[in-house]
Amino acid sequence: MKKTLFLVFLFLLDCNKPTETAFSGEKSNPISPPTKQEEEIDKLCVNAESGLRIRDQPTTDSEKINLIPYQTILPIYEFSREYTKIGNVEARWAKVKFNDRFGWAFEGFLSWDCHDHGINQGQRITNKDLVGRWWDPSNKDTYYIEFSEYGVYSAYFFGGCDEGGCNSDSESGEWQFKHNFIYMKAGIHKFKAPISYIYYIENGKLESLDSEHSILENYSSESISGWVKGKAK
């Protein structure tokens, strides 16, 4: 009886051994792990009225994939490290998805906002017109909004006064152009964040689109508008 049990045990043990295939000495490859799913980091809108080409690679001479219509909202998955200059615009390339296909679109013709706002009174501007420090004309040695050439702004402004005295507020964020408007998002690299402010330049002054799209001072009761570019006193 013991001998019979021992033989059964050996038989079961042999069955659990991995079966060798006819391809002796050749190990089967393990299943490749799934590739990391593309993660959407932002959404941008095509602001070129003639449409925007997407390309196979982030270069101007790579294969053209498709033409994206004006005001199409695109999911963004990645930005190139290098900047490219097309015409007078210098920007990165953005990896986008359109019609179920990935490609690269020039960021200089993409913006945060798809709306025209029905206003065209602002003068045409370039980076040179905007970059620098804009001062509160009533307090030119203290309060300002500064725009850097790298698409970042910082603001220092009147906070308000109460029984304990007066105070100041500050904030920073990112800016970009769309036509003759300046769009600003509070916070640095806050992807998918809503647009905080919209400004334009008219008669040498930085004007807000309206109180809803303006930096607010004095306990958020007054719109910052009409500030001028230049040096402090």
pTM of structure: 0.66
Q: List every span in the chain annotated with CATH 2.30.30.40.
A: 42-111
Q: So what's the pLDDT on residue 192?
A: 63
Q: So what's the pLDDT on residue 21?
A: 40
Q: So what's the pLDDT on residue 118?
A: 60
Q: So what's the pLDDT on residue 36?
A: 54
Backbone Cα Rg of the chain: 29
Q: So what's the pLDDT on residue 117?
A: 65
Q: So what's the pLDDT on residue 38?
A: 79
pLDDT digits (tens, 9 = 90+) for 113-154: 877 666 555 677 888 899 999 999 887 679 999 999 888 999
DSSP readout, 118-185?
A: T---SPP--HHHHSEEEE-TTSTTT-EEEE-TTSEEEEEEEEEEETTEEEEEEEEEEEEEETTEEEEE
CA distance 185 to 174: 5
**Distances, alpha carbon 89 to alpha carbons 30, 69, 80, 106, 127, in Å:** 48, 20, 16, 10, 9
The torsion region of residue 194 among left (phi > 0), alpha (psi -120 to 50) and beta comes to: beta
Q: 229, 209, 58, 46: which is closest to 135 by C-alpha?
A: 229
Structure tokens at 231: 């040096």
Q: List every span in the chain annotated with CATH 2.40.128.
A: 127-229
Q: So what's the pLDDT on residue 34?
A: 38
CATH number of 42-111: 2.30.30.40
Q: So what's the pLDDT on residue 154?
A: 96
CA distance 107 to 95: 9
Each of the 233 residues of the chain gets a pLDDT tens digit; together they read: 545 544 444 455 555 554 444 333 444 444 334 345 678 888 889 988 899 999 999 999 999 999 999 999 999 999 999 989 898 788 899 999 999 999 999 998 898 887 766 655 567 788 889 999 999 988 767 999 999 988 899 999 999 999 989 999 999 999 988 778 899 988 866 666 677 899 999 989 999 999 989 999 999 999 999 999 986 55
pLDDT digits (tens, 9 = 90+) for 16-28: 554 444 333 444 4
Q: So what's the pLDDT on residue 219?
A: 94
Specify the fold of 127-229.
Answer: Lipocalin (2.40.128)
Q: So what's the pLDDT on residue 122?
A: 60
Structure tokens at 233: 């006193």
Neighbours of 218 (CB within 10 A): 15
Q: Are 127 and 219 in contact (CB under 8 A)?
A: no
